A and B are shown apart, each in its own frame.
Chain A
């Protein structure tokens, strides 16, 4: 019990945040690599972006509390992520219309 309270005393260590974002990021990577659906890939990308966001914010808060670079970076990333999602989903829907599928394996037409 004491061990637990000791562990929980003070504020959260930076490693904990980093570890958390690490898990999130590689979960994204796993999804990106393993799933075939374009939507799933998009979801994985969102996960990775979020993980990166968390890192920015955490570094900003813990290492340079007086500045706002990380904060803004995250803010802009969120905005860009929103744009990206919008465009990506538009493309996906278009692909679905043309190919009747959203599987990434079918999308090598451009290579020829």
Chain B
């Protein structure tokens, strides 16, 4: 009962703020709305019992990424400059496309997903379990992707520095 209520609250937050985030005229507000969406998503993870994911989401997304966004916004937006609003046509067309997509996917979900009512034991995912899985090379263990990601991260760091540095 409580889970349901929490879910719907989070759902409401996500739905409202994600729409606000893409429609808001001020970009800094959009970023703020995005932050709310990200936090609410983290809440969903918690609700689903993935505490570790919650932590990562909050730390990386809501923490790191958002800071980057804010910086970028502050760097690229001259204060006081008027925000040009997009053409109505553009918005309408995009909206129609998006709604068509929603309708289509909703249709699929409604007709094709079994109405599963799985009650899952809210078993805790221990850090040990995560650690073992992440650093093993057996089946269903993810050392290789993990390493790949780490190389990617390194590449990104170098790339970002190279791109952004002043010549």
Contacts and interface: CB of A to CB of B under 8 A. Distances in A.
Interface of A: 5, 7-20, 22-31, 33-37, 39-40, 42-44, 46-47, 50, 53-54, 57-58, 61-63, 65, 67-69, 71-72, 74-76, 78-87, 89-94, 96, 102
List the 4 shortest-distance A-B pairs measured between CB atoms, nearest first: A31-B22, A33-B94, A34-B94, A83-B156
Contacts of B3: 11-12
A54 B116 CA distance: 17
B75 to A, nearest CB: 6
Nearest to A29: B98
- Chain B contact residues: helix, strand, loop or mixed: helix
Interface in B101-146: 101-102, 105-106, 109-110, 113, 115-121, 125, 130, 133-134, 140, 142, 145-146
Q: Number of contact residues on B: which range applies?
A: 35 or more
B88 to A, nearest CB: 10
Contact of A67 (B19, B76, B97, B140): B140
Contact of B142 (A36, A72, A86): A72
A11 to B, nearest CB: 5
A75 B53 contact: yes
27 contacts: A7-B4, A8-B4, A13-B115, A14-B116, A20-B44, A23-B15, A29-B98, A30-B22, A33-B90, A34-B91, A34-B94, A47-B34, A57-B44, A58-B48, A61-B48, A65-B120, A72-B134, A76-B145, A76-B149, A78-B56, A86-B157, A90-B161, A90-B163, A92-B72, A93-B75, A96-B75, A96-B76
Contact of B117 (A10, A72, A79, A87): A10
A68 B14 CA distance: 25
B22 A47 contact: yes
A81 B49 CA distance: 22
Given A11-B120, A47-B22, A58-B48, A30 B60 contact: no
Interface in B1-22: 1, 3-5, 7, 11, 14-15, 18-19, 21-22
